[in-house]
Amino acid sequence: MTFILKTEGLNKVYRLGGFMRSKSIQALNDVNITVESDNPVVIAVVGESGSGKTTLAKTLLRLETPTSGRAIVYDQVVAGQGAIPSRKDFLGLVQPIFQNPFEAFSRYRPVDAYLHETARRVAGMDTVRSENAVAEALKSVGLNYEDVCGKYTAQFSGGELQRISVARALIPDPKLIIADEPVSMIDASRRMIIINLFKRLRDEAGRSFVYITHDLATAYYISDYVAVMNKGRVVEFGPARKVMSDPQHDYTRLLLGSIPTTKTRWRPRLRAAG
Ligand SMILES: Nc1ncnc2c1ncn2[C@@H]1O[C@H](COP(=O)(O)OP(=O)(O)OP(=O)(O)O)[C@@H](O)[C@H]1O
């Protein structure tokens, strides 16, 4: 079996202020998650604002260096001591999708230029291979190359742009995609298109995802595993169905009970399970 994601005692402390008035924030506190599987998975990371979700994503993406501990993705150390040194190798293994697709691309540059750049710089492709890879990636997110080529961000909806972000992430053929709140800036009516796309990419293209979200309903719908974070710690972790239907930790129960829009849907499930 493969360690799709394993974090070992991951800590991240931010130090703020000057010498006299320094303050430290423990954004990650001994985070230990192990997902070992032969099949691709979606791992949701949920928790309220400030619980450390984005810090975990940034650490896995090497945008932050852990204070201590390490992270392993598909059996390779990606963060902390012994991490694979090459940025190119890393980006061929792990790719990000960020919250705001309008910030992922400049409005002054055609979006396909970013996809070609990823194909050339990250995946090392020549022009012909790059054309094919971009067209293929766009096709896999349900878009036509001809409909995207030469267009700017203003000519797309948020949902379409986020699908283009997903296409860009797919070009280097990564095993794990880390998506930090990927649907929170998208119209509610279009969110499920992205969520179902992740599901299809897991089932048909063998990609794994770390899905960071406030939205427990989509986490329940899409995830194989759920990590619940509170104040930098993972307070509960396990198979999604188990965590969501039979939460062991008070904070998980609180979180599940505090979803106003889905309350009526969740309650019967929780009662039935309990
Ligand atoms: N660069 C930074 N410098 C100092 N403190 C930071 C930094 N980034 C995050 N923090 C702090 O670390 C803690 C965890 O923040 P983080 O952004 O990881 O939480 P989150 O769960 O992703 O929140 P949200 O859902 O609001 O995005 C917070 O207290 C935050 O203020």
pLDDT-derived band at 272, boundaries 50, 70, 90: very low
Instruction: Please list, in sequence order, all residues whose beta carbon lies within 8 angstroms of the beta carbon of residue 82, skipping any fewer than 6 positions away.
Output: 70
DSSP 153: G
* Pocket around ligand 1 at a 6 A CB cut-off: 14, 16, 25, 27, 47, 49-55
Largest CA distance in the chain: 59
Assign 91 a pLDDT band (cuts: 50, 70, 90): very high
- Please give the Cα distance from 270 to 274 (Å, whole number): 6
Could you report the per-residue pLDDT of 245-265, keeping only the tens digit for each? 899 888 888 888 876 554 444
CA atoms within 13 A on the CB side of 222: 30
- Residue of 54, 98, 251 best suited for mutating to test ligand 1, as the one with most atoms within 8 Å of CB: 54
Count H helices and E strands in the chain, helices first.
12, 10
Rounded to the nearest angstrom, the distance between the alpha carbon of 231 and the centre of ligand 1 is 10
Helix (H) or strand (E) holding 210, with range, is strand 208-213
Size of the chain in residues: 274
Indicate if the pLDDT at residue 268 is higher than 50. Answer: no
State the angle between helix axes of 158-170 and 188-205 in degrees (0 to 180), rounded to the nearest 10: 20
Percent of the chain with pLDDT over 70: 93
Q: Measuring CA to CA, which residue among 220, 266, 270, 218 is closest to residue 246? A: 270
pTM of the full predicted structure?
Answer: 0.90
Ligand 1 atom closest to the Cα of residue 229 is 21
243 contacts 237 by C-beta, under 8 angstroms: yes
Span 156-174, pLDDT tens digits: 998 899 999 999 999 999 9
